[in-house]
Amino acid sequence: MTARPLVLPALTPDVGWSVCLRDARTSAVLAEQDPDRVQRTASVGKLFLLLEVARRLEDGLLDVDEPLGWEEGEWVADSGLWHLMGSRQLPLGDLCWLVGGFSDNLATNVLLRRVGVDAVTATTHALGFTRSALLDRVRLDRGPDHPPTLSRGTAGELSDLIARLHRGELVSPAVSGRVRAWIAANADLSMTAAAFGLDPLAHAESDRGLTMINKTGTISTARIDVGVVAGPAAEVAWAVLAEWDTGSDPRDEVLSTMRRVGDAVRAHVEDGT
C-alpha cells in the first residue's frame, strides 16, 4: 500500500530550511523541501554519540556503572543539568540519560572523551550517513583550529536515521532500543513536537493514542527537531531543520512554522489526512 503524501505548510521566508517527512514503517518520503541541504544541527548530532555508546554497551566494551567525571577543560553550561549538580562524578549510564533527556553538554563532552570522536564518526559512516555527523565536543569558545560547528546534517538523512531507529535497525534492535529509551526522556517539545500536546516531562508511554520520541537542537541561529510519532492511522518520522543569518531573529516565526509542520503530522497519524 502506497503511503499517502503529506502537504507541508508554507515555510518562513528568509530562513534556510531542510525538511523531510517519512513513513516511519518504510522510510518512504511523504513530503520534503531541500532534504539534501546540509545545515548546522546543534545538539541533534548527539544522537550519533548515543548510538556509539549503546553499541559498546551491547558489545560489553562499556559498563553502565562505570564512574566518569568531568575535567576542567570539558566544563560547559547552557543545556543540561550536570553543571548545576554537586557531584563531579556519575555513572556512565546516568550520563546517557542526561544527554537523552536534557541534551546535557557536560555529559556529552565526558562521553565523547570516553569513546572518541573517531569511533563515533566510524559508526556514523558504517550506518550509511555521509552528510550528517557529530564533529566535535561542546566548546565555550570555538576557534579557527576547531571544527566550525558541533554537528551538521540533512533532513533527508536525519529523518531516515530516526525512522530506522524506530524500527530497531540502527546497529541492532538492542542498540536502537537503548537510544530510543534515552531520548524518550527528552524534555524539549517546543518545536515540531509541540503539536502533539504531550507532557514534556513524561511522554515515554502512549498518550492520546500517540507514542513519540524526538531530539532537538538549538543555537542562536538555528532550530532543529528530529523525531517519530506513531498514531492509530500512521507512523511518521520527521526532520525539520531551520537556520538563519546572524543579525536576524525570526525564531518566533520559525517555531510557529515548525509547530504547523507538527500539526500536519498529527493529522496524518491520527486520521490519515
Q: Which CATH number do you get for residue 121?
A: 3.40.710.10
Question: Is 8 within the bounds of a domain?
Answer: no
Cα 162 to Cα 132: distance, rounded to the nearest angstrom:
13
pLDDT digits (tens, 9 = 90+) for 38-62: 999 999 999 999 999 999 999 999 9
Compute the average pLDDT of residues 140-150: 91
Q: What is the DSSP string of the chain?
A: -PPPP--PPPPPTTSEEEEEEEETTT--EEEEESTT--EE-GGGGHHHHHHHHHHHHHTTSS-TT-EEE--GGG---SSSSGGGSS-SEEEHHHHHHHHHHH--HHHHHHHHHHH-HHHHHHHHHHTT-SS-EE-S---SS--TTS-SSSEEE-HHHHHHHHHHHHHT-SS-HHHHHHHHHHHHT----SSGGGGG---TT--SS-BTTBEEEEEEEEETTEEEEEEEEE-SS-EEEEEEEEE--TT---HHHHHHHHHHHHHHHHHHHHH--
Counting the structural domains of the chain, the total is 1
Rounded to the nearest integer, the mean pLDDT of the chain is 96
Question: Is 73 within the bounds of a domain?
Answer: yes
Whole-structure pTM over 0.85, yes or no?
A: yes
pLDDT of amino acid 2: 55
pLDDT of amino acid 1: 46
pLDDT digits (tens, 9 = 90+) for 149-208: 999 999 999 999 999 999 999 999 999 999 999 999 999 999 999 999 999 999 999 999
pLDDT digits (tens, 9 = 90+) for 86-125: 999 999 999 999 999 999 999 999 999 999 999 999 999 9
Question: Is 113 within the bounds of a domain?
Answer: yes
Question: Is 53 within the bounds of a domain?
Answer: yes
Compute the average pLDDT of residues 65-72: 96
pLDDT digits (tens, 9 = 90+) for 204-249: 999 999 999 999 999 999 999 999 999 999 999 999 999 999 999 9
Nearest CA to 103 among 217, 8, 228, 240?
Answer: 217
Could you tell me the residue range of the domain that residue 148 belongs to?
A: 16-271
Question: Is 116 within the bounds of a domain?
Answer: yes
Query: Is 269 a residue whose pLDDT tops 90?
Result: yes
Question: Is 259 within the bounds of a domain?
Answer: yes
Question: Is 178 within the bounds of a domain?
Answer: yes
Question: Is 1 within the bounds of a domain?
Answer: no
